[in-house]
Amino acid sequence: MADYKAPLRDMRFVLNEVFEVAKLWAELPAIAEVVDEETAAAILEEAGKVTAGVIAPLNRSGDEEGCGWTDGVVNTPAGFPAAYKAYSEGGWVGVGGDPQFGGMGMPKAISAQVEEMVNSANLSFGLYPMLTAGACLSINAHASEELKEAYLPNMYSGAWAGSMCLTEPHAGTDLGIIRTKAEPQADGSYSISGTKIFITGGEHDLSENIIHLVLAKLPDAPAGPKGISLFLVPKFMVNADGSLGAKNSLSCGSIEHKMGIKASATCVMNFDGAIGYIIDAPNKGLNAMFTMMNYERLGVGVQGLALGERSYQNAIEYARDRIQSRAPTGPVAKDKVADPIIVHPDVRRMLLTMKALNEGGRAFSSYVAMQLDTAKFSEDAATRKRAEELVALLTPVAKAFLTDMGLETTVHGQQIFGGHGFIREWGQEQLIRDCRITQIYEGTNGIQSLDLVGRKIVGNGGAMYTLFADEIKTFIGSADASLAEFVEPLKAAINNLDELSAWLLNSAKTNPNEIGAASVEYLQVFGYTAYAYMWALMARTALAKQEQDEFYVSKLGTARFYFARLLPRIHSLTASVKAGSESLYLLDAAQF
């Protein structure tokens, strides 16, 4: 496997040249106080060093060894505790955390790049700080000042970790039917009892304490999702002076044996009258949870991008070195018995597909991150509302499309390696195994598609969609003739998406099955169209600078490939949507 190198040049291109993110930061005083373009560059440079030098070398060994569980004690693979200590001491766990409690205070546009780097280096490792950051988001947004002061500083520092305890054996997507109970106590705390499964980082040896956020129901809670509350449940109780006290009444019953992310401890957690503290108000747990979800679902999308980037780095190095057969037009490496496989059209097709999807995905994830920053920090109500609606619309696309494209990209990388891609020593097969979970957790991609179509398109009559579509059309209208080769196919794509959205809105009025039948393919059409917008934006920048650097020439060539070979996928997907739901119901259950 090639040594991982953070794609800092491309990150700077997207943030500074395409989106000119410093202009956004200047309009957001809370961000302007802590970061500028120079500071951001230094942070990303240092993140690249720690992820490549400290974390990436543990990726394969961690996969081979995995986590161990003995009588409730979980051990992470060799090297993980020391690497986590180094990562924590660098302040990376709290890179996006509130400065009031010791975080760096970086905007999501920066922390998303750091997430990409750590997950490219080692996805299993990256999950531990990711879950801590997610728990911190909910605590900071919804908990009392007392809880924030008691828990956030040690969580941002990495001394304490966090987990999110949502899923139960019988309740995954349908959280309204959870059974974990919370009994009020005389001192204002709650007694938490129940079992949670698939809990990432529920138990491990990386930190001295683990702070669990647990969904549970109060005795008088209404049925369904409206009766869910969220509780902070520490592994070790915290004394008044901040020191650790007795162990709480909770335990890790086992860890899962998984297809991938084997160095990430995925735990069964048992709560047996554990002491917990309510976050926000009774029966408001889903509100607190979804504060975290918009960030974490983008984060999972970035995981797909990250693994695609690692796959590309491996594949391009292999394709330049591996010699096999001659180019169709005749020998290229005349001093060798065969040419490097990068000369072959099919290998180039796969490499360019990977490159185009990765770079389009990086631009799209950064765009969504900027909307999150605007929604959180803008002092203008109308600007904040617009960003919030774009976040709601684009979050399911970011999670599902980025991870779907991530899996495609890891598979292409394996294919370029041929038989060596199927062998563990080369590392390519691990990337596929690790990537597969990204399409499943934090809400499966099918659920993300239903969320997009059911809630964000049909549910509000297409109003959120119109915001995004109008932005693209404004860009198209402002483009000059030099951009025609990119703008014309983008215009056709957004017109197609307009028509498809209208078809869906109309069809759903008479047949509710159309929403579920269309959702996955519709999200894919949306994703390819969104990437086309990103590529047109990048092409505009690259076109103006192509005389300066080969980087921009490469960017333009990749843009042309995207529009010529990848964007046309929308046509077959559109036809599938318009085929309707009827064919899905031709068989009775017994006929399958």
Domain count, the chain: 1
Does 442 qualify as catalytic in the annotation?
yes
Domain assignment of residue 358, yes or no: no
Task: From 418, 385, 370, select the one nearest 113 (Cα to Cα).
Answer: 370
User: What does the pLDDT look like over 127-142, one tens digit per residue?
Assistant: 999 999 999 999 999 9
- Residue 461 sits in which domain range? 446-581
Domain assignment of residue 501, yes or no: yes
**CA distances, 264 to each of 61, 122, 253, 506 (Å):** 13, 10, 16, 45
Q: Sign of the C-alpha dihedral, residues 569, 572, 577, 578?
A: positive
pLDDT tens string for the chain (592 positions)? 789 999 999 999 999 999 999 999 999 999 999 999 999 999 999 999 999 999 999 999 999 999 999 999 999 999 999 999 999 999 999 999 999 999 999 999 999 999 999 999 999 999 999 999 999 999 999 999 999 999 999 999 999 999 999 999 998 888 889 999 999 999 999 999 999 999 999 999 999 999 999 999 999 999 998 999 999 999 999 999 999 999 999 999 999 999 999 999 999 999 999 999 999 999 999 888 888 888 899 999 999 999 999 999 999 999 999 999 999 999 999 999 999 999 999 999 999 999 999 999 999 999 999 999 999 999 999 999 999 999 999 999 999 999 999 999 999 999 999 999 999 999 999 999 999 999 999 999 999 999 999 999 999 999 999 999 999 999 999 999 999 999 999 999 999 999 999 999 999 999 999 999 999 999 999 999 999 999 999 999 999 999 999 999 999 999 999 999 999 999 999 999 999 999 999 999 999 9
Task: From 369, 411, 438, 430, select the one nearest 11 (Cα to Cα).
Answer: 369
Domain assignment of residue 534, yes or no: yes
Per-residue model confidence (pLDDT) at position 293: 82
Domain assignment of residue 45, yes or no: no
Domain assignment of residue 162, yes or no: no
Domain assignment of residue 592, yes or no: no
Contact 459, 453 (CB under 8 A): no
pTM across the whole model: 0.97
Domain assignment of residue 498, yes or no: yes
SS (H, E, C) 340-370: EHHHCHHHHHHHHHHHHHHHHHHHHHHHHHH
Q: What residues contact residue 191 under an 8 Å CB cut-off, 6+ apart?
A: 182, 183, 185, 273, 274, 275, 276
The beta-strand segments (E) located in 280-390 are: none
Domain assignment of residue 569, yes or no: yes
Contact 504, 514 (CB under 8 A): yes
Contact 496, 563 (CB under 8 A): no
First to last CA, the chain: 43
Catalytic one of 442, 514, 550, 582: 442
